[in-house]
A and B are shown apart, each in its own frame.
Chain A
Amino acid sequence: MSMITKAYREKEGFRLFLKLLMIFLISRLFMLIMMIVYNKTKGVDYSISFLMNEWDAKWYARMTEKGYMFPTDYNPQASWAFFPMYVLTCRCLYLICGGLISADWVGIIVSNVCIFIAAYTAVKYVRDLKTSKLKAEVDGRKKESLASLADQGKEHEGPSGDGNRSLLIGLLMFMAPYTFYCAAMYTEAMFIMFIALFFRACQKRKYLLAGLFSALASASRIVGCTLVFALLVELYLDYEERAQVQTLAKKVLGFVLDTIEQPKRVLGLMLCPLGTFSYMLYLYFFCGDPWAFMHVQIAWREEHYFPILGVLYKACTGQIENRYTYMGWFCIAMFGIYIYMIVRKHYSMGIFGIIALLIPLTSHVMSTCRFTVGSYVVFVGVYDLLDRMKGKLLWLKYLILAGFFVAEAFALYIWYNSDCWLM
């Protein structure tokens, strides 16, 4: 016990871990309370694993038990629509446990561990982002005393210097609307984890490692491949800091040459889509079609719209279904947040967020709420927005957080009720 106390006093990372763990446990307790509320109001007695694992979770559970399978004669939907990283992890854990833990619970455990790692990484990311901004201010405003800037740092870090305000992003990742997907047997938590680790590696300028996390993300969802654009932006910003030239053309040329000269960066970039391409090779041997994950989408939806603009227009003007009207406007709001992020100089994240949203919009608005939350960067954007609400705007920050809490409670309830609005 004394060792823990000592570690708590001395190790900032450990303090952060415990505080985040508390928020995490409270959020999961809240999910359990909502389960009781649901069971009482509906007069049923379902378990949390049953209620949490809806829709696609059933596919993941089946794949955890049996691996990838061919479609039946009766149903063209095939399991290879789902990328393998999450499935592989769950299946490994399931086999290691010898089937003692059900596939449902294996999925829940993996997702919760992943989202916790992701949140821990995110807290450290935003904390260091603040610190680096302060350093930049020191560089930029030499006239100002270092002492006053240090005070600002303390204000941010909290009385004990733990990055308490940074914990807000952890709270968002555990309890903001639609975050219940990260507690269910869905790939979102793992995907978020790899993206968070990717941006953390970029922040530390470990671009080879970033490439590796991107490769893992691209084995979790196709969108993971597009982290290559985020990496390019990060590399460019890194180069720009050092570049002596002024004109854009020279900068771009210099950037290309500079990147090629550094083999770790080249390899980092090359690694980005490795997960997806490895899966494609597997699919070639499994079913003969490397693009099977894309071709199988026809079994889920038959509607064809003009990509992105056509999809958004049809959805936002209520020409499909009510839930898709909502999702269409939700997407517009998300684009707003991503643009805000770019304005706030979160360039790579903003660009990745936009691309990650544009890809599903090439076919439909279905599931875009889940995809948006699952692309991680929106948490950083919302965090940035909320973190700036100080002084007279503090009430608005708490109002928004309360709104998020109510929305998540409502979403959880209708998720337990298998509502198609959350598909």
Chain B
Amino acid sequence: MSNELKKTPGRGHKAWLYAVSLVLVVFYILVLYLGLKPNVGIEYKMYYISHELSDWPGFGKLTYSLGTKEICTGYLDTDGHLVPYKVCARKGQGWNRWQYYGSSNNARESSIYYLLDEDSQSSSYTIEIVDYSGKGKVELYRGDQYLGEFSDKGIYTYEVGSLEKGELIKFTFKSDSDVEFRIWSAILDK
């Protein structure tokens, strides 16, 4: 016979124990419900939850001011020191992890996200490709809209059209299967 059975709690005591159990169940359901609707920023959501971003931009740092030139490396150089320039920490999936000398693609589709802090009627997107291999080409899209293509290293500028404040813009590089390229810098300008 177990200890508990020997000491059977009284009716009032029993009611309390059941009540506490019930409160715990309600508490667990409430926490699970809160878990369904996380109250987080877009950077957190895209990096930690949906994994759309492969770079962690920092809280509030996905926002972009038009005309800012960003370099597509990591924050640290090969010696582990912080780099002195503005880093393009807004890359989506499709890029290699190691990016000391720019970011190279590791998939057919590689993306970069921008969250704008102002409107623009007419904008352009300039990228610097420092390495290119393969016989195929790379097409650039803004969402589903085709912007242009490149098939060698160089500096390329594409007309992007109008942009709205608070709009999340996704540039996608769709490359042919044999193509590997390395992007050094990107700038979205008026």
Q: A residues bordering B, Cβ < 8 Å?
A: 70-76, 204-208, 238, 242, 262-267, 270-271, 273-274, 277, 280-281, 284, 287-292, 295-296, 298-299, 302
In terms of DSSP, what is the predominant structure of the interface of chain A? helix
The answer to whether B57 and A73 touch across the interface, beta carbons within 8 angstroms, is: yes
Partner of B18, one of A71, A74, A266, A290: A266
The answer to whether B35 and A280 touch across the interface, beta carbons within 8 angstroms, is: yes
Fill in one digit per residue for B26-50: 1 if any A CB lies within 8 Å of its CB, else 0: 0110011011001111001001110
| Closest CB in chain B relative to A40 CB, distance in Å | 30
The answer to whether B4 and A290 touch across the interface, beta carbons within 8 angstroms, is: no
Residues of B within 8 A of A299 (CB): 48, 56
Number of cross-chain contacts by CB at 8 Å: 101
The answer to whether A288 and B75 touch across the interface, beta carbons within 8 angstroms, is: no
The answer to whether B31 and A296 touch across the interface, beta carbons within 8 angstroms, is: no
Q: A264 to B21: give the CA distance in the assembly, Å.
A: 9
Please, which residue of chain B has its CB at the minimum distance from the CB of A78?
B48
The answer to whether B21 and A296 touch across the interface, beta carbons within 8 angstroms, is: no
The answer to whether B18 and A263 touch across the interface, beta carbons within 8 angstroms, is: yes
Residues of A within 8 A of B51 (CB): 298
Partner of B82, one of A74, A76, A205: A74
Q: B residues bordering A, Cβ < 8 Å?
A: 1-5, 9, 14, 17-18, 20-21, 24-25, 27-28, 31-32, 34-35, 38-41, 44, 47-49, 51, 54, 56-59, 61, 75-76, 82, 89, 97
The answer to whether A298 and B17 touch across the interface, beta carbons within 8 angstroms, is: no
Interchain Cβ contacts under 8 Å between A and B, 17 examples: A73-B59, A74-B76, A74-B82, A76-B47, A76-B48, A204-B3, A205-B2, A206-B3, A267-B17, A267-B18, A277-B28, A284-B34, A284-B35, A288-B40, A289-B39, A295-B48, A296-B48
| Closest CB in chain B relative to A132 CB, distance in Å | 13
The answer to whether B21 and A71 touch across the interface, beta carbons within 8 angstroms, is: no
Q: A207 to B14: give the CA distance in the assembly, Å.
A: 15
Partner of B34, one of A76, A264, A281: A281
The answer to whether B58 and A72 touch across the interface, beta carbons within 8 angstroms, is: yes
Q: A205 to B5: give the CA distance in the assembly, Å.
A: 10
Residues of B within 8 A of A296 (CB): 48
| Closest CB in chain A relative to B92 CB, distance in Å | 14
The answer to whether A70 and B59 touch across the interface, beta carbons within 8 angstroms, is: yes
Residues of A within 8 A of B5 (CB): 262
